[in-house]
Amino acid sequence: MKALCLTQPGQFDFNDLPEPADPAPGQALVRIHRIGICGTDLHAYQGRQTFFTYPRVLGHELAVEVLKTGAGVSNLTPGQFCSVEPFMNCGGCPACRLGKTNCCEFMRTLGVHVDGGMTERILLPAAKLHPSGSLTLDHLAAVEPLCIGAHAWARVEPAASDSVLVIGAGPIGLAVMEAARAALVQPLVMEVSRARLAHAAWMGWKTIDGRAEAEEQIRQALGGSLPRMVFDCTGNPHSMMACFRLVAHGGALVFVGHYPGEITFQNPNFHAREISLYASRNATASDFRRVMGLLESGRIDVKPWLARPVTPEEVSGQFSIWLDPEAGIIKPMIAWPA
């Protein structure tokens, strides 16, 4: 069985892997059809991914087909197409017992801590598979990044009357904005990439050019005020440290992007504004169910995000393009041949 393995930063090779065994109780054997590429994969390619060792089979944004199920599996049947919840939690740590499976103490994420979906077939826990009878393969692979945005949105649950700023118009920022759309909230979006600014404007979002003085633009857009809720989706330490000054007094800041280092802020400003600071990590099964329902009902749409799927053989030559925000590619996809 073939797998596309990131053997070291910047180097992919096709490896032969053993065929998966028959599924054990509670498991399902699935065929991979689509693999979405995100910042996690791009950082791993660059050698900048936290919690990561080489070699590794990437791939956690997956659309799969159920081939066979193990004993005791009642939620799946062979032939169903599913999105994959790639966060393998332990079930027993304090976070899991509280239902916060997204930040399990012993988390193992597909394609990061353990091998992922850039392969032909894989065994997965049946509980991590979310079937749909109507979503396309591309949409199923896009569910996971949408869930990251939905989970971040749920951390503070802005009301329709709240002013919201989303910093970063890459896939995760767009996912937060789709959560806003479902909640009937019209956020501002700030971005430094010309291509991403243009794409966000084309999608109908109100944009702030992050290359210019941001606070003045934001206050002008909000009638002199600052936003009550700010979501930083950049993973950029300069943005994450600077955005404290963009939060209104009594407001909240959510760090959705991840930076593998220290973040500092000026305490008098933080304290005077009584800012509530939140981290947002991964997503839960309830996020998957909600997002898939929104996609199936047409309340959110990711078609404008999706690039033409490439083959596994084309991947090595594409990563340098995908790493360039000005290339205008929001959500790269790999189509694994059946």
pLDDT the model gives residue 240:
97
Model pLDDT for residues 201-224, shown as the tens digit of each residue: 999 999 999 999 999 999 999 999
Tokens matching residue 92: 């027993």
pLDDT the model gives residue 267:
96
Alpha-carbon span 15 to 73, nearest angstrom: 31
CATH 3.90.180.10 residue ranges for the chain: 2-133+307-335
**pTM for this prediction:** 0.95
pLDDT the model gives residue 51:
75
CATH 3.40.50.720 residue ranges for the chain: 153-279
As its CATH architecture, domain 2-133+307-335 has Alpha-Beta Complex (3.90)
Model pLDDT for residues 242-280, shown as the tens digit of each residue: 999 999 999 999 999 988 899 999 999 999 999 999 999
Region label for 29, one of left (φ > 0), alpha (ψ between -120 and 50) or beta (otherwise): beta
Low-confidence residues in the chain, pLDDT < 70 = none
Alpha-carbon span 320 to 291, nearest angstrom: 30
Tokens matching residue 240: 């994450």
**CB burial class (10 A; 0-12, 13-18, 19+) of residue 103?**
middle
**246, 230 in Cβ contact below 8 A?**
yes
Q: According to CATH, what is the number of the domain 153-279?
A: 3.40.50.720
